[in-house]
Amino acid sequence: MPLSETLLASLAEQGWAVCDGLLDNRLPGRLYEQCRQVWEHQGFRPAGVGHGGARAVHTGIRGDSICWLEAETAQFAALDFLMWAEDLRRELNRELYAGLHSSEFHFARYPEGRGYKKHMDQHRGQHSRRITLVLYLNPEWRAADGGELCLYAPEDESREVHRVLPLAGRLVLFRSDLIPHEVLPCARTRWSLTGWFRSDAACGHAHAA
């Protein structure tokens, strides 16, 4: 999976990159249908904030529900995505010497009116998450639907540097330890696939936020 020089340079120099069309254009639609089926079969749970014993559900801060993708049981589109993501991990290591040893991903569903307040993806004292990946799944998303991802400057988290409209198939990569970010409230249900490339060899999901 050869990554474009522009994407690699953007990720290396500014800590984030946005790309359309990197995946097979049928895969986001297949993932969209699969995660909706999982939702209908009650496979999601409310996402939490915090770490360890301090983890709690606060929908005013983070309003999504999630379903983890497990490599051992993944099927259909989810399995195809995980295979693609493994190729991406290797490519990032080869081109950027990123030191990525594992990954973790989940489906995310934001209901109407919910978002995720500004935050970092690396927990305090936990440095394994290195690169965040977000893949948007909703077909026919419009600007009026909201739900944009806002990226902020590492040196000044009050300064917005880029706003990403969640169009189907759009991929965002950014440094988990560097880029503050926020999900703005959406005007209709918003579906995505989110996760992290990590520097450790294995991980569990109890810590996840």
As averages over each run of 10 residues, the pLDDT of the chain (209 residues) reads: 83 96 95 98 90 73 96 93 97 95 98 97 83 97 98 96 98 97 98 97 52
Among the listed residues 119, 105, 131, 117, the one whose alpha carbon sits nearest the alpha carbon of residue 194: 105
- pTM, to two decimals: 0.93
| Percent helix, percent strand, percent coil in the chain, to nearest 5 | 25, 35, 45
Distance from C-alpha of 172 to C-alpha of 75, rounded to nearest angstrom: 24
Give dist(CA 136, CA 172) in Å, integer.
9
**Residue linked to tokens 């926020």:** 182
Burial of 161 (0-12, 13-18, 19+ CB in 10 A): middle
First to last CA, the chain: 29
Partner residues linked to 181 by β-bridges: 119, 151
pLDDT of residue 153: 97
Quick check: 139 and 122 in contact, CB under 8 A? no
Number of H helices and number of E strands within the chain? 3, 11
Q: How is domain 5-48+58-198 classified at the CATH fold level? A: Jelly Rolls (2.60.120)
DSSP string for residues in 173-189: EEETTT--EEEPPBSS-
State the Cα–Cα distance between residues 55 and 48, nearest whole angstrom.
Answer: 6
**How many residues are present in the chain?**
209
Give domain limits for the chain. Answer: 5-48+58-198
Burial class (CB in 10 A: 0-12, 13-18, 19+), 125: exposed
Q: Where are the alpha helices (DSSP H) in the chain?
A: 5-14, 27-40, 76-96
